[in-house]
Copies of this chain bind each other. A is one copy, B any other.
Amino acid sequence: MKPIARIYTDFPDKFGIPRQSGIVKELKGRVVFEPPYRDYRAVKELSEYSHIWLLWLFSRSEREDWSPTVRPPRLGGNTRVGVFATRSPYRPNPIGMSAVKLDRVVVDEGLGPVLEVSGIDMVDGTPILDIKPYLSFADSYPGAVCGFADRLYGQQLKVIIPHSISKTIPDDLTDALKGLLAEDPRPRYQNDPERVYGFAFNKYEVKFKVDGEILTVISVESK
């Protein structure tokens, strides 16, 4: 298995990344092929598809050994569940999969074909193992029963970004930031309204607090 491409995103670190793809539709990424795979023919007809699968490596989550159980943050961080009943990165073969929207296929003079996608959930520079078209007749089960995951997603925080802060960053980044913060990126076992959380996003350092269901951005500063 060799990386065929890398995806470039606004997340230099893991903190802040949505826990699944497609949840924050404003989050954009650029898929750039590795030099041996920079062949426009390989993505011919791909732009006929609205969505694609990316198979990728959990490059920041390597462990020497596997554990049969993991503790998902969304379950509070203390409850153990079977690793194959989760999408946790800590699995025997560290492959992630994400359905993303294919916005455009562009041709860059130096980089070859570049895929512009949105709805991403990967750290900047994540190695991509495969790209496949999304086939709704085989991949889409809108009525699938999703166990404990069904009970854990959907609750969103109300996000407040004071105008004095939002006016200093581009509108599209403000939208993306609102979306990812509404998903509550905190580890679930923390609940301290005075605690300040910080993470890197795009070229900014974002700081926020959470009190109950309300998340307030304190500062967004250029790094």
Asked if A69 is an interface residue, CB under 8 A from chain B, the answer is yes
**What B residues does A51 contact at CB under 8 A?**
141, 144-145
Known: A1-B93, A43-B82, A46-B82. Is A143-B132 also a contact (CB below 8 A)? no
**What B residues does A218 contact at CB under 8 A?**
none
* Inter-subunit contact A87/B132 (CB<8 Å): yes
**Contact of A48 (CB < 8 Å), options: B50, B93, B147:** B147
Which B-chain residue is minimally distant from A20 (CB atoms)? B138
Asked if A148 is an interface residue, CB under 8 A from chain B, the answer is yes
* Inter-subunit contact B136/A146 (CB<8 Å): yes
List 29 contacting pairs A-B, 8 Å CB cutoff, sorted by A.
Answer: A1-B95, A4-B92, A4-B93, A20-B135, A22-B137, A22-B141, A41-B80, A42-B68, A43-B84, A44-B80, A44-B82, A45-B81, A45-B82, A45-B147, A46-B84, A46-B85, A48-B85, A53-B97, A55-B95, A84-B130, A84-B133, A93-B130, A97-B132, A136-B144, A137-B146, A137-B149, A137-B153, A140-B140, A140-B142
